[in-house]
């Protein structure tokens, strides 16, 4: 009986600690002010994997690919922050404007809202003379360089360093392809996704 009580106490104490940790709040204004500056980032893609289309070629996959980036936060407003994200030569020097925010629990979200410098890997893909080309322009890696990428589920911390991890998703980057050339036998491919890590310089 004593062992059972001890076991139950451990479970309750552990649960209480985890819940308390999740509900801890911060001053998001102060946290946002500490976002100002330059951050080094790494994005490891997890989806989609390579696809076997109805051609002799395999559609490349994103799984396992790493992209380094530099996040520059240049302005803030209360719990929101703004700046740019740069990927360098791999993206033909594409630079996005970003906008983000930190909530009272410290959760950080930011998005690639528009081009500052369009490397034209994605936008230069479209040929008005090619029918249904939109799907092939979403294939990896071309489709990655559309706007709209969302970095989420990262939790602000400066203890002991400014560094955390989160998730990435590019909404509406999924596509369909035909297995046999028909419009009925198709495969749906998921959005581009991955995990990121940023560290303040």
Residue 187: pLDDT over 90:
no
Beta-carbon neighbour count of residue 154 at 10 Å?
23
Pairing state between β 163-170 and 175-178: unpaired
pLDDT at residue 62 is higher than 80: yes
- 177 alpha-carbon distance from chain centroid: 24
| Interacting residues of 175 by C-beta distance below 8 A, sequence separation 6+ | 135, 138, 139, 143, 188, 189
pLDDT of 191 > 90? The answer is: yes
pLDDT digits (tens, 9 = 90+) for 111-152: 999 999 999 999 999 876 555 555 789 999 999 999 999 999
How is residue 80 written in tokens? 């929101």
The DSSP code sequence of 105-148 is T-EEEEEEEEEEE---SSGGG--TTSTTHHHHTTSTTGGGGSS-
Residue with token string 């092939």: 136
Output the pLDDT for position 18: 39
Q: Degrees (nearest 5) of the Cα angle 170, 174, 176? A: 170
Structural fold of domain 25-200: Lipocalin (2.40.128)
| Structure token pair of residue 9 | 């106490």
Nearest to 136 by CA among 47, 49, 51: 51
């Amino acid at each position: 009986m004593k062992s059972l009580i001890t076991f139950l106490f451990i479970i309750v104490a552990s649960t209480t600690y985890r819940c308390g940790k999740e509900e801890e709040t911060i001053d998001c204004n102060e946290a946002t002010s500490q976002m100002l500056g330059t951050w080094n980032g790494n994005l490891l893609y997890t989806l989609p994997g390579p696809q076997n289309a109805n051609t002799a070629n395999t559609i490349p996959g994103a799984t396992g690919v790493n992209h380094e980036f530099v996040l520059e936060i240049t302005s803030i407003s209360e719990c929101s922050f703004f700046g740019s994200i740069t990927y360098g030569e791999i993206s033909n020097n594409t630079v996005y404007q970003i906008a983000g925010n930190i909530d009272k629990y410290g959760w950080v979200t930011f998005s690639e809202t528009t081009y500052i410098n369009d490397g034209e890997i994605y936008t230069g893909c479209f040929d008005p003379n090619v029918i249904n080309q939109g799907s092939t322009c979403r294939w990896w890696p071309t489709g990655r360089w559309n706007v709209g990428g969302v970095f989420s589920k990262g939790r602000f911390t400066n203890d002991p360093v400014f560094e955390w991890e989160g998730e990435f998703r590019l909404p509406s980057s999924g596509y369909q392809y035909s297995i046999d050339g028909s419009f009925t036998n198709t495969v749906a491919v998921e959005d581009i996704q991955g995990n990121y890590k940023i560290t303040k310089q």
